[in-house]
């Protein structure tokens, strides 16, 4: 388990992380999301002891990382896929880490096989593609067979087969009762992988909920209705207590987004009043849409209509 309590980090006048409190529980994949500059990487670095908090605490299995006697057996982390000596082979890179933590050499070959790098074990890591570097970083995180796994952007540079492998690997780790915390900008991948979400913006907690709860809160959920009698239908729907707005992404004035009333009831209401419907479809928001809606005011760099960063 990872527990973060009142965690803050300031660099001079800039507050990177602002009184964060959350818990990452075992047995599930927890997605850690936020816009660029939100403080995700700084938070992860404090969890694994690479940065010292200005205030608050971050513990793994009840202890700060620096107090763990055998840290690699407790926490496996990949925060930088290129964190290796470019002149060393993949196998020698892992052997060095293993030796420093009294991990048997045979474990090196096991993790190389797990991530699909056996055939590249004797190649210098400096010549690896980003995808191969990601696999090597994951292999290093697995050396101690840890109870907690922390991955920052683990699918960057991977091909579809590699992405599928990472997804299945994280799921198997969670299903075995381990704690998995993963940060990623690939919303579609997170929607397919994560059970729980922790979302931050400008260093502050914005959401801590299950995936289903997070998606259900979006105002973009509802039923899309298109009718040549839209104006009349709006009056009827609102009289029945439904919320009605123009459908997002639709320019036609006859297309509505209805919330608070399901599709069968909308159809029955239209039918009783002799109104034609050309479209009646439940709309379920994607994680990307829900995320952008929640963090709209927390984006540090925004492109203006002139194309310049604001």
Whether 182 is in a domain gets the answer yes
Q: Are residues 191 and 255 in the same domain?
A: no
pLDDT tens-digit profile, the chain (310 residues): 999 999 999 999 999 999 999 999 999 999 999 998 899 999 999 999 999 999 999 999 999 999 998 899 999 999 988 888 889 999 999 999 999 889 999 999 999 999 999 999 999 999 998 888 999 999 999 999 999 999 999 988 788 888 888 899 999 999 999 999 999 888 888 998 999 999 999 999 999 999 999 988 887 889 999 999 999 999 999 999 999 988 876 777 899 999 989 999 999 999 999 999 999 998 888 899 889 888 887 655 444 444 454 4
pTM across the whole model: 0.83
Whether 74 is in a domain gets the answer yes
Q: Are residues 13 and 89 in the same domain?
A: yes
Q: Are residues 109 and 150 in the same domain?
A: yes
Q: Are residues 100 and 210 in the same domain?
A: yes
Whether 310 is in a domain gets the answer no
Whether 298 is in a domain gets the answer no
- pLDDT for 157 equals 78
Q: Are residues 209 and 270 in the same domain?
A: no
Cα Rg, the chain, nearest whole Å: 24
Q: Are residues 57 and 140 in the same domain?
A: yes
Angle at 104 between CA 103 and CA 108, to 5 degrees: 90
- pLDDT for 250 equals 72
Put the strands of the sheet holding 75-78 in their side by side order. 75-78, 148-152, 179-183, 28-33, 196-201, 204-210
Query: What is the maximum alpha-carbon separation in the chain?
Result: 78
CA-nearest of 219, 228, 273 to 252 is: 228
Q: Are residues 64 and 193 in the same domain?
A: yes
Whether 71 is in a domain gets the answer yes
- pLDDT for 304 equals 46
Q: Are residues 212 and 69 in the same domain?
A: yes
CATH number of the domain bearing residue 229: 3.30.70
Range of the domain at 69: 2-216
CATH number of the domain bearing residue 51: 3.40.50.300
- pLDDT for 300 equals 55
CA-nearest of 163, 171, 169, 139 to 30 is: 171
- pLDDT for 188 equals 86
Q: Are residues 14 and 158 in the same domain?
A: yes
Q: Are residues 189 and 53 in the same domain?
A: yes
CA-nearest of 47, 67, 56 to 21 is: 56
Q: Which residues of 79-102 are buried (b: 16+ CB within 10 A; e: fewer)?
A: bebeebeeeebbbbbbbebbeeee
What's the CA gap between 225 and 189, in Å, rounded? 29
- pLDDT for 303 equals 44
Whether 294 is in a domain gets the answer no
**Which stretches of 59-159 are DSSP H helices?**
71-74, 90-100, 106-114, 130-142
Q: Are residues 158 and 211 in the same domain?
A: yes
DSSP 8-state code for residue 269: H
What's the CA gap between 292 and 55, in Å, rounded? 29
Q: Are residues 90 and 203 in the same domain?
A: yes
What's the CA gap between 169 and 157, in Å, rounded? 17
Are 120 and 128 in contact by the 8 Å Cβ rule? The answer is yes
Whether 64 is in a domain gets the answer yes
Q: Considering its fold, how many domains does the chain have in total?
A: 2
Residue 256 pairs in a beta bridge with 225, 246
């Amino acid at each position: 388990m990872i527990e973060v309590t009142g965690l803050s980090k300031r660099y001079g006048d800039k507050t990177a992380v602002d009184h964060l409190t959350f818990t990452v529980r075992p047995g599930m994949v927890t997605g850690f999301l936020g816009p660029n500059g939100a403080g995700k990487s700084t938070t992860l670095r404090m969890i694994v002891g690479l940065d010292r908090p200005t205030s608050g605490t971050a513990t793994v299995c009840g202890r700060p990382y620096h107090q763990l006697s055998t840290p690699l057996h407790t926490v496996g982390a990949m925060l930088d896929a290129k964190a290796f000596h470019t002149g060393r082979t993949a196998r020698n890179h892992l052997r060095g880490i293993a030796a420093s933590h009294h991990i048997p050499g045979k474990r090196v070959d096991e993790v190389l096989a797990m991530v699909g790098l056996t055939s590249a074990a004797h190649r210098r890591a400096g010549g690896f593609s980003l995808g191969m570097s990601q696999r090597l970083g994951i292999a290093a995180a697995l050396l101690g067979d840890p109870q907690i796994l922390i991955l920052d952007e683990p699918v960057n540079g991977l091909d579809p087969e590699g992405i599928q492998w990472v997804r299945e690997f994280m799921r198997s780790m969670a299903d075995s009762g381990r704690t998995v915390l993963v940060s990623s900008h690939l919303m579609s991948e997170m929607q397919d992988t994560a059970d729980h979400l922790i979302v931050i913006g400008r260093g502050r907690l914005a959401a801590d909920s299950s995936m289903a709860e997070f998606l259900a809160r979006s105002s973009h959920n509802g039923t899309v209705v298109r009718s040549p009698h839209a104006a009349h239908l709006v009056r009827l729907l609102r009289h029945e207590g439904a919320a009605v707005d123009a459908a997002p992404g639709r320019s036609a004035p006859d297309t509505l987004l209805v919330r608070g009333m399901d599709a069968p009831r909308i159809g029955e209401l239209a039918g009783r009043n002799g109104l034609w419907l050309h479209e009646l479809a439940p709309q379920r928001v994607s994680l990307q849409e829900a995320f952008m809606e929640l963090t709209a005011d927390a984006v540090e760099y925004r492109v203006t209509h002139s194309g310049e960063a604001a």
